[in-house]
Chain A
Amino acid sequence: GAVVSQHPSWVICKSGTSVKIECRSLDFQATTMFWYRQFPKQSLMLMATSNEGSKATYEQGVEKDKFLINHASLTLSTLTVTSAHPEDSSFYICSATGTRTYEQYFGPGTRLTVT
């Protein structure tokens, strides 16, 4: 149980375009979802926290207008990278927690390459 999926697993887009990444909890209701960014050989950097039906809470230094997060249901959160630039190229990981649990279940990640 506690499976989280992400789609797509790999995406290449042109500079200036937008790309959407989906994160789904497949077998549980995710009360809270998290979005991370990870550079090679580095730790995970939390970008934002989202709760179903509420606006996402962004970490300091993360541009909320560039990284749009929508948590429309208890099983789906989306991250849209708007007007992507090469410096946005990275590995993006989502995670989710269920009710009354402090354990986060991670998706497999999405590799974004902006050309």
Chain B
Amino acid sequence: AQTVTQSQPEMSVQEAETVTLSCTYDTSESDYYLFWYKQPPSRQMILVIRQEAYKQQNATENRFSVNFQKAAKSFSLKISDSQLGDAAMYFCAYVSGGSNYKLTFGKGTLLTVNP
């Protein structure tokens, strides 16, 4: 079974600084997708960024970028120019390229942004 590990239960960053959230996963499959979801205090799950395993290029969405290391099974999220609105729980998630579409989530990292 696939597992997703987020080793940082909590992280903090100063406003305007950069922070990196770690995520590792374990799978024997070659076709899969990885996601970072943000859950602010409203508890609405928001997709931050996605990465297809077959793509070598790291995904980027504005201030958010990933460092996808397929051989190391690592998928870290970098947030640049952190803003107060970035404060949230961040979940790393994996889904197999098979047909069941089921997401496997990490336990989450609570990010605090200090003004």
Interface size on A, residues (CB 8 A): 20
Given contacts A91-B43, A102-B33, A106-B44, contact A43 B101 (CB under 8 A): no
B43 in contact with A103 (CB, 8 Å): no
B43 in contact with A104 (CB, 8 Å): no
Given contacts A102-B33, A102-B97, A104-B103, contact A109 B108 (CB under 8 A): no
Interface extent on B, as a size class? 20 to 34
B22 vs chain A, min Cβ distance (A): 15
In whole angstroms, how far apart are the Cα atoms of A93 and B33 in the complex?
Answer: 21
B45 in contact with A93 (CB, 8 Å): yes
Q: How many A-B residue pairs have CB under 8 A?
A: 50
Contact of B11 with A by CB under 8 A: no
In whole angstroms, how far apart are the Cα atoms of A10 and B21 in the complex?
Answer: 32
A43 in contact with B95 (CB, 8 Å): no
Contact of B78 with A by CB under 8 A: no
A49 in contact with B45 (CB, 8 Å): no
B43 in contact with A109 (CB, 8 Å): yes
The 7 closest A-B pairs by CB, nearest first: A106-B45, A102-B33, A43-B105, A102-B95, A108-B44, A43-B107, A109-B43
